[in-house]
Amino acid sequence: VNIHNFDTLRKSQRRPSFPNYCLLLAHVFYIEITLFYFSSIRHIFVVLSPLFNTRLQLRQ
């Protein structure tokens, strides 16, 4: 194992590169948006399911 290569690898790991940071930020925002989206869809279904249930009971 070359010690010089190991040292440069450690330096590159210590200083986070800008594109990787942007990618991480975008990934976090994407996860947050998808979680909010699915939770809001679930909330809409929870609100609408009693209406659908009463409509089905009236139809029967």
Per-residue pLDDT reduced to its tens digit, 6-43: 666 666 555 657 778 888 889 999 999 988 888 888 88
Domain membership of residue 17 (yes or no) is: no
Please indicate, yes or no, if residue 39 is contained in any of the structural domains. yes
pLDDT for 53 equals 78
5 is a domain residue:
no
Q: Does residue 37 belong to any structural domain of this protein?
A: yes
Q: 43 in a domain, yes or no?
A: yes
pTM greater than the 0.85 cutoff: no
Residue 42: its pLDDT value, please?
Answer: 84
Residue 9 lies in a domain: no
8 is a domain residue: no
Please state the domain count of the chain: 1
Output the 3-class SS for the chain. Answer: CCHHHHHHHHHHHHCCCHHHHHHHHHHHHHHHHHHHHHHHHHHHHHHHHHHHHHHHHHHC
pLDDT of residue 3: 61
Answer whether residue 2 is part of any domain. no
Q: Residue 39: which domain range? A: 23-60
